[in-house]
Each structure stands twice: as structure tokens, then as C-alpha cells.
């Protein structure tokens, strides 16, 4: 990973304490994902909503939903197993901002209970620009936006529909709208001082040849970190059904090795939306077992 440009910052939102934004931090500090965001407002062709949002997660993984109040309890549970949790994040199982109420309430409650914890969030970007002021007010500093293409005709192959302001869009209209909203959100977030990471899902034959152009565009937007993730099509997804092949870690390395001028993330674990602990030692399974023993309070995620 290119570490040039790492900021030395003693405040709460220091990059050196965020396990995704700093590989060194990932050896010492953990994160907890709080699955409070149920719905999604777009349809990615590698996704199936039986599972977590594959923009941050391994496909085929299903997390139970939490209420914002249960999310706070969850942090206590996680800290009882691993205390050095530096980040709490909302990363699904749908999109964090499709219906932002639960996401915002969760951040509000965490700030009250754990003021020292860094707040982080991932989103497809459709509703980002509209929610930045509130995210700032809630104390969020780190945001990940999934941006799979910077070209409308490529994006049109990746998304089947976008729902925005009560209307549904398909084809190039959907792709154009999503792209416009993503760029607007990223530009505004950078101007407001958020630290931004871009996740791009590498889809062989669809956007693999486009990663260089994408990384250059992202760099111009002032993004801090670029994370290319191999696509593993979720079972029952559109790409799975039509036989679009997934990508491998080796494919990702082959492409990111040639990229310059931007920090590249190389230690992503494609976490679950209820992942907890160190990136390399996910505690979510252990926590589920504990809950199973004591009677699970989490609701099953509806499809
Ligand atoms: Fe979670 Fe993402 Fe925040 Fe990290 S994960 S919302 S930036 S706290 Fe990290 Fe997991 Fe990779 Fe995401 S390893 S999938 S990059
Ligand atoms: Fe699925 Fe996430 Fe895309 Fe929504 S944003 S369709 S949950 S991959």
C-alpha cells in the first residue's frame, strides 16, 4: 500500500486508528459493523437481496437486523470479547442511506455512549449529498462510496434500476442518475472534510478495463483511498444467472499494481454487515453462538 500522504493526527478521527484506512492500524484496532439498514434503493446486477450488500460484503452472507438501541448493546458485547474497537460503522445489510433514519439514530446513540469511537459508513452514494449535513452533525468522518464505473454506458451494464424521489429509472437513465448523484455526493463530502474511500467491484469483461480511468477520476475528486474488490456474484443475482464470471484477488492485484497517484487498499476482508473485531479475526460467528445460547434477540433480515 502506498502510505504517502498519511496524516498524522492526534484527534479522534485519526486515520492511524482506522483499521480499513490504515493497514498498520488493522493490526491493533478492530471495527464493529451494526446491521441497522434494511432497505436498498438501487439494484446491482451482482446482488441478491437474500444476502448482505456485496458492495462491502462477501456474497452469500446474511446478517440479522439490529435496532439502533440493540446496536449500542452490540458494541458492549463486542468490547467484552475485544476491547480495542476504534470504529463503529453502518454497512448494510442494505444501503445505509436508503432510509437513513435508523442509521442516523444509531450514530447519535453511539456518540452519546462511546464518544471516543470513530464513526464510519458505506453507501452506494445515491442519497449521499442529501444526508451529508446530518452525517456531519452526528459526528461521522469516514465514508465509503461504491463507485463501479465513471462512464454511463459501463454503469448501465451494472445496475438494473434506481429508485429516487418516488420514481424508478432503468437502463442509461438509471446509470446516469446514479453516477451524477455519486459524483455530487463525493465532491461535496470531500469539500466538507469527510475522509472518503471508494470501493469498486471488479467485474471481468464489464469494468476491468476501466479501472485505470476510474482511479484517475477518483483521485481528481480528492478521494483518500481506493479499494478494488473482486466480484463474487451472489447466487440468484442477475450476473450469476447469465454466467458472468467472478474475479479473484489475483485479478485485483494485477490491476491495482499498475495504478499510481492514489492510496490503494490491499487488506480488505469483504466483511459481513455484522462483522466485529480485528479485520483478520471476525468475532461475528462467536457472538451469534453466544446469542444462540442466550436466546437470539436479533431479527432475521427480510428479503
Ligand atoms: Fe466497515 Fe468499510 Fe468503514 Fe471499514 S469495512 S464501513 S471502511 S469500518 Fe474495511 Fe471490511 Fe473492507 Fe469495508 S475490510 S469490507 S473496507
Ligand atoms: Fe445490493 Fe448493495 Fe447494490 Fe443495494 S447497493 S443492490 S444492497 S449490492
CATH of the domain at 264: 3.20.20.70
Q: pLDDT at position 285, please?
A: 76
Asked whether residue 64 is assigned to any structural domain, the reply reads yes
C-alpha grid cell, residue 100: 437513513
Q: pLDDT at position 52, please?
A: 78
**Is the Cα torsion angle 94, 96, 100, 102 positive or negative in sign?**
positive
User: Separation of 116 CA from ligand 2 center, angstroms?
Assistant: 30
Asked whether residue 303 is assigned to any structural domain, the reply reads no
- What percent of the chain lies above the pLDDT cut of 70? 91
- Indicate if the pLDDT at residue 105 is higher than 70: yes
Asked whether residue 62 is assigned to any structural domain, the reply reads yes
C-alpha grid cell, residue 68: 439502533
Residue nearest to atom 4 of ligand 2 (CA): 40
Q: Which residues does ligand 1 sit against, CB inside 6 Å?
A: 20, 31, 33, 56, 87, 89, 91, 120, 122, 142, 144, 197, 227, 268-271, 279
Domain that holds residue 158: 3-8+18-298
In this prediction the pTM is 0.91
Q: pLDDT at position 60, please?
A: 65
Q: Evaluate whether 148 touches 215 at the Cβ level (below 8 Å).
A: no
Q: What is the pLDDT of residues 3-50, one digit of tens each?
A: 333 333 456 778 999 999 999 999 999 999 999 999 999 999 999 888
Q: pLDDT at position 235, please?
A: 87
- Indicate if the pLDDT at residue 56 is higher than 80: no
Nearest to 143 by CA among 128, 159, 133: 128
Confidence of residue 86 (pLDDT cuts 50, 70, 90): very high
User: Separation of 42 CA from ligand 2 center, angstroms?
Assistant: 6
64 lines ligand 2 (CB under 6 A): no
- Indicate if the pLDDT at residue 296 is higher than 80: no
Asked whether residue 13 is assigned to any structural domain, the reply reads no
Q: Parallel, antiparallel, or unpaired for β 42-44 and 159-164? A: antiparallel
- What percent of the chain lies above the pLDDT cut of 90? 76
The count of structural domains within the chain is: 1
Asked whether residue 72 is assigned to any structural domain, the reply reads yes
Residue nearest to atom 2 of ligand 2 (CA): 53
Nearest to 31 by CA among 299, 268, 295: 268
Best residue among 36, 39, 47, 127 to mutate for probing ligand 2, ranked by most atoms within 8 Å of CB: 47
**Is the Cα torsion angle 40, 44, 48, 54 positive or negative in sign?**
negative
Asked whether residue 172 is assigned to any structural domain, the reply reads yes
Amino acid at each position: 500500500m502506498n502510505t504517502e500522504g498519511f496524516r498524522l493526527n492526534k484527534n479522534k478521527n485519526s486515520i492511524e486508528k482506522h483499521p480499513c484506512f490504515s493497514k498498520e492500524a488493522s493490526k491493533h484496532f478492530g471495527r464493529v459493523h451494526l446491521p441497522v439498514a434494511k432497505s436498498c434503493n438501487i439494484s446491482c446486477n451482482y446482488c441478491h437481496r437474500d444476502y448482505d450488500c456485496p458492495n462491502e460484503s462477501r456474497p452469500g452472507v446474511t446478517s440479522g437486523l439490529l435496532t439502533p438501541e440493540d446496536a449500542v448493546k452490540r458494541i458492549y458485547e463486542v468490547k467484552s470479547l475485544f476491547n480495542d474497537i476504534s470504529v463503529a460503522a453502518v454497512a448494510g445489510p442494505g444501503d445505509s442511506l436508503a432510509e437513513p433514519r435508523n442509521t442516523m439514530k444509531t450514530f447519535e446513540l453511539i456518540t452519546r455512549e462511546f464518544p471516543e469511537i470513530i464513526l464510519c459508513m458505506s453507501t452506494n452514494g445515491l442519497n449521499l449529498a442529501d444526508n451529508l449535513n446530518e452525517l456531519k452533525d452526528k459526528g461521522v468522518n469516514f465514508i465509503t462510496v461504491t463507485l463501479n464505473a465513471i462512464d454511463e454506458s459501463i454503469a448501465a451494464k451494472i445496475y438494473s434500476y434506481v429508485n429516487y424521489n418516488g420514481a424508478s429509472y432503468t437502463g442509461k437513465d438509471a446509470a446516469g442518475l446514479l453516477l451524477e448523484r455519486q459524483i455530487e455526493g463525493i465532491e461535496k463530502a470531500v469539500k466538507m472534510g469527510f475522509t472518503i474511500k471508494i470501493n469498486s467491484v471488479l467485474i471481468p469483461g464489464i469494468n476491468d478495463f476501466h479501472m485505470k480511468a476510474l482511479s484517475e477520476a477518483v483521485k481528481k475528486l480528492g478521494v483518500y483511498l481506493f479499494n478494488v474488490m473482486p466480484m463474487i456474484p451472489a447466487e440468484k443475482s442477475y450476473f450469476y444467472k447469465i454466467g458472468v464470471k467472478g474475479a479473484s484477488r489475483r485479478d485485483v492485484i494485477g490491476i491495482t499494481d499498475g495504478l499510481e497517484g492514489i492510496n490503494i487498499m490491499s487488506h480488505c476482508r469483504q466483511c459481513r454487515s455484522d462483522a466485529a473485531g480485528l479485520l483478520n479475526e471476525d468475532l461475528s460467528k462467536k457472538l451469534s453462538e453466544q446469542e444462540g445460547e442466550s436466546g437470539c434477540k436479533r431479527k432475521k433480515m427480510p428479503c
